[in-house]
Structure 1
Amino acid sequence: MRPNFNVRVLRDQKARTGVLNNEIARRAYLYVARNQSLPAQVRYQAQLQLNTFDKYTRPTTVKNRCTETGRGRGIMSEFGLCRYQFRLKAKAGELPGVKKASW
């Protein structure tokens, strides 16, 4: 059995916390940088401030990944698992409220 942590999952968690911690400041700087009614110097300073943020503060770096394997495709968002891990855990009865449909 693979360990519960994966480098991709850890990177995604780092990105999520970075976005959460810096979301308000980033949005404020973006608003100022894109506001055409403000002077060019103010917009330029806001753009410079945006460029100083870390890579993991951008919302586009956040990707849903399976918490067990780190797989980035076929994610059941309610459970945070890929479809294969979801199936395995559902069969084992480890997911509350989920059971196999009977014929």
Structure 2
Amino acid sequence: MPNIRVLRDIKARQGVAANEITRHAYLFVARNQSLPSQVRYQAQLQLNLFGRYTRSITVKNRCTETGRGRGVISEFGLCRFQFRQKALAGELPGVHKASW
């Protein structure tokens, strides 16, 4: 069963992917000083209507097993402890313990 933090991160990633182009267009219009202030104001109002999980800042790399947000190896999507456990168990293809 996935952790609630992992589910929240998946939801945030999907929301950002679905609304990224539209949000950037509104941001460009809202920050463009050469446009009339009424147009920029309307763009800012549209930006405020977007939900929480449409901002790219809400996406955080988390371990897919435990939901831990620190020490995540992004190539595998695992925190360092889970990575080590799975590597020692031989569950990660192409990863083996270094020999002296």
Normalising by structure 2, report the TM-score. 0.99
Measure the CA separation in 1 of the matches of 2:63 and 2:17: 20
Residue of structure 1 in register with 2:43 after alignment: 46
Match of residue 61, structure 1, among 46, 58, 62 = 58
Q: How does 1:22-101 map to 2 (within 5 A)?
A: 22-101=19-98
Measure the CA separation in 1 of the matches of 2:40 and 2:52: 21
Measure the CA separation in 1 of the matches of 2:99 and 2:55: 44
Letter in 1 for 2:28: Y
Match of residue 18, structure 2, among 18, 21, 27 = 21
The secondary structure found in structure 1 opposite 2:15 is helix
| Structure 2, unaligned runs of 5 or more | none
Measure the CA separation in 2 of the matches of 1:66 and 1:77: 9
Letter in 2 for 1:94: E
Measure the CA separation in 1 of the matches of 2:87 and 2:37: 57
Measure the CA separation in 2 of the matches of 1:95 and 1:34: 46
Moved over 3 A (4+): none
| Structure 1, unaligned runs of 5 or more | none
Measure the CA separation in 2 of the matches of 1:75 and 1:37: 43
Q: Between Structure 1 and Structure 2, how many residues are aligned?
A: 100
